[in-house]
Each structure stands twice: as C-alpha cells, then as structure tokens.
Homo-oligomer: A and B are copies of this chain.
Amino acid sequence: MKTTRLPRPSVERLCTYLRELTRLSAKRMETIRSRELAKRVGVSADQIRRDFWLIGSFGKRGHGYDVEGLRKSVAAAIGLEKEWSFIVVGVGNLGTSVLNYKTLLLRGFKACAAFDKDGAKIGKKVGGVKIQHVSALPRVIASKRPALAVLAVPASAAQETADRLFRLGIKGILNLAPTDIFAPAGTRVRNADMSREIEALAVAVKMTELAR
C-alpha cells in the first residue's frame, strides 16, 4: 500500500470502487476485469486501471483483479480498512436515526458514545448506546479516543459545539445541523444537512430541465 497523497478525484473514485467491490465480494465474486467494473460504476476502464495503479494494485492480463484482494488494497489506501469509532452529539430524531443505522456498523463505523443536554434523555439507550450528558464529553473523548463525531444539535449550537469537540481532540465532524460550520486547520468538517442535499437535488432537476 502506498501512503503518498492521492489526488482528490482519485480518492472519490476509489470510494465508489470500494462500495462496488464490497458488494461483489459479499456475493463471492472472485475476479473482475477493469472493463466490467467500468460498466458497473460508470468510469472508463482506463481511468480505473490508472487509479488502481496509483495505489499499487495491478490486475493480471486476461484475468483481471482479485476482488477481495483489491477491496482490501483500496480500503487500506483510503483509510477505510480499520474500524472507525464515532460519537453522536444531539439525540433528537436525526441523532436517533444515526444510532439506529445498522449499515454504519457494517461499513466499519461504530458509535461508541452519545450525548445530549436534555436531562430526560440521559441514561436511556438508543441503538445499544447509552445517552450521557454533554458535560461528560471531555472524560469520554479522553478515554475512548474517537476520531469522528456526528453533530445533530440545533443550528444555534452547532459551531460552538463543533469548536468544543475539536478542542477535545475530534478530527472530523459530520455536521447534520442545518447550518454550515467551519473547521480549524488539520481537522475536517462535512456539512451534510438535509436542506443542503435537497437544495442540490432541486438545482440539478432545474438544470436538467433547462438543458433540454
């Protein structure tokens, strides 16, 4: 596995290949040619070979790639080979659905703790995780060392909570609050609230209409 910096477009395509390879591996497919993978993911076979070459994976001429081996190489190259643990901050509707979201665990993401400010929720379990008061954040982060946090608090508390999480050592935040937040250097934020997603969809639909 190469650990040099990969170009961002390659990283995005590698994520897509990984999803397909995981699916194929689960179906016990043993080998795949770049041409076949190309059809499945909508990327050219040349591009696919170049991306795999970047991470040091080569197929055999006339034979293709070993599916499970390739899946492992891709996962390792983009950091998805190990289990990531994350915390959930804010256990309303959205936080609850994150904690109940079984697919996350299948993909290697495990909720290790959940937090809320609402006294009525403290001590209850959601998706097998006990809800703790936000005042326990420093202690829990120091002991469990999660790299990621899913932020599902109200918009008004989002940036302040994010700043606190980063100070406590969180490296990346998936922000589901309906406002954009900013990340200090060396950390990452993914702003993914639903209103942003549906806006982008509506704009795409509108552009499709205009293009006719």
Contacts and interface: CB of A to CB of B under 8 A. Distances in A.
A174 to B, nearest CB: 5
A197 B192 contact: yes
A197 B174 contact: yes
Interface in A186-202: 186-188, 190, 192-202
A155 interface: yes
Interface in A158-197: 171-174, 178, 180, 186-188, 190, 192-197
Interface residues of A, number: 61
A143 interface: no
A79 B207 contact: yes
Contacts of A4: 210
Interface of A: 3-6, 8, 11, 15, 19, 78-80, 84, 86, 92-94, 96-98, 100-101, 103-104, 106-107, 109, 147-148, 150, 155, 171-174, 178, 180, 186-188, 190, 192-212
Closest A-B pairs by Cβ, 5 of them: A79-B206, A93-B97, A103-B178, A172-B205, A188-B204
